[in-house]
C-alpha cells in the first residue's frame, strides 16, 4: 500500500502539467467514434471510443457521476489516450447531461420506462465490460468511476476479477446505505485483487478511506490533495486550480501499476 507523497509525484506533476496545459488537441487527436451496445431491459447503451494512433493493448473504461453523461470525459479522455491507452467513455442510465453532451442511455431507458437510479445503472457497467471484452478485445481492461460509479466499480471488479486488471475511483462512498447498509461497497472492496487508485476532495477523504482500507492488495494508492480538491473525475478538468496534482497522482499509478502495455 502507498499513499502518494509529493516527492513521489514530482515527475508525475511535470507530466500532469504538460497534459493539463495542452487542451484537448486537434480535431484528429480528440476524435472518437460513437457506439451502441445491448444492456438490461432491452436498451441500447451508448459510449464514445477514443483510440491512440498506435494500437493499444490496454483499454480504460470511464463511468460518469450522477446526473451527468460521458461528456464528463470529453476533456479527460484525449489526455489518457496520449498516455497510450484506448478509452471507452460510457453513458449510464443514471444521468442526464454535462458539457453539452446528453446522456443517450438515460434517454433510451426513460423512453422504455426503465429504472434509472444508481443501482439500476450497474447493469450498464456490466454491459460495457462485456462489450469491451467481446468486441474491442484488449489484452487488459482498467475500470474508472466517478462518484456513485466510483463505488460501483468496486462491485464490478469483485464480480469480474478475471476481466479487470486495475481500478481507479474518484470520490467513492457508501452511496447505497438505504438499500444495503453502511458497508455495502466495503464488502466488494474486500474481494478486489487488482491494483487500486482512490482519490477524492479533502472533505470526502473520510468517506473514501474505509473503502480503500478494505482492499486487501498491496498495490494501491490513496491520494488526497493538500488543497480542498474536487468531487469526482472533474478534479482533472483544466478549470480546477489543482488539476495538475490529480493528474500527477493518476500518472504515477498508471505508470507503476497499470501501464498501457502488459509487462509480461
* pLDDT per residue as tens digits for the range 42-89: 999 999 999 998 889 999 999 999 999 999 999 999 999 999 999 999
Cβ proximity of 125 and 153 under 8 Å: yes
Domains in the chain: ranges and CATH = 2-257 (3.40.50.1820)
Cβ proximity of 91 and 47 under 8 Å: yes
Over residues 89-115, mean pLDDT: 98
Over residues 140-155, mean pLDDT: 98
DSSP H helical ranges for the chain: 10-20, 76-82, 104-111, 122-131, 148-159, 177-180, 184-189, 205-214, 243-257
Cβ proximity of 233 and 64 under 8 Å: yes
Q: What is the DSSP string of 65-82?
A: -TT--GGGGTTHHHHHHH
Would you state the pLDDT for residue 264? 57
Over residues 161-173, mean pLDDT: 98
Would you state the pLDDT for residue 22? 43
Per-residue pLDDT band for 4 (boundaries 50, 70, 90) equals: low
Per-residue pLDDT band for 31 (boundaries 50, 70, 90) equals: confident
The 10s digit of each residue's pLDDT in 72-84 is 999 999 999 999 9
Per-residue pLDDT band for 1 (boundaries 50, 70, 90) equals: low
Contacts of 7 (CB under 8 A, 6+ apart): none
Amino acid at each position: 500500500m502507498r499513499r502518494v507523497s509529493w516527492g513521489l509525484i514530482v515527475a508525475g506533476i511535470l507530466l500532469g502539467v504538460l497534459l493539463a496545459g495542452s487542451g484537448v488537441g486537434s480535431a484528429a487527436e480528440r476524435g472518437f467514434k460513437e457506439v451502441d451496445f445491448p444492456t438490461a431491459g432491452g436498451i441500447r447503451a451508448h459510449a464514445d471510443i477514443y483510440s491512440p494512433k498506435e494500437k493499444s493493448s490496454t483499454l480504460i473504461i470511464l463511468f460518469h457521476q450522477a446526473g451527468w453523461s460521458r461528456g464528463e470525459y470529453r476533456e479527460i479522455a484525449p489526455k489518457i489516450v496520449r498516455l497510450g491507452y484506448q478509452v471507452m467513455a460510457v453513458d449510464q442510465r443514471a444521468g442526464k447531461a454535462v458539457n453539452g453532451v446528453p446522456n443517450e442511455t438515460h434517454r433510451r431507458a426513460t423512453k422504455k420506462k426503465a429504472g434509472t437510479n444508481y443501482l439500476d445503472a450497474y447493469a450498464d457497467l456490466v454491459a460495457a465490460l462485456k462489450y469491451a471484452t467481446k468486441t474491442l478485445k484488449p489484452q487488459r481492461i482498467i475500470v474508472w468511476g466517478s462518484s456513485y460509479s466510483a463505488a460501483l466499480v468496486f462491485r464490478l471488479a469483485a464480480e469480474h476479477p478475471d476481466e479487470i486488471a486495475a481500478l481507479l475511483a474518484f470520490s467513492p462512498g457508501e452511496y447505497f446505505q438505504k438499500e444495503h447498509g453502511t458497508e455495502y461497497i466495503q464488502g466488494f472492496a474486500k474481494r478486489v485483487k487488482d491494483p487500486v487508485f482512490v482519490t477524492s476532495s479533502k472533505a470526502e477523504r473520510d468517506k473514501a478511506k474505509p473503502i480503500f482500507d478494505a482492499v486487501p492488495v498491496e498495490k494501491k494508492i490513496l491520494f488526497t490533495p493538500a488543497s480542498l480538491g474536487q468531487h469526482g473525475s472533474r478534479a482533472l478538468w483544466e478549470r480546477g486550480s489543482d488539476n495538475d496534482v490529480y493528474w500527477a497522482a493518476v500518472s504515477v499509478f498508471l505508470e507503476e501499476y497499470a501501464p498501457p502495455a502488459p509487462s509480461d
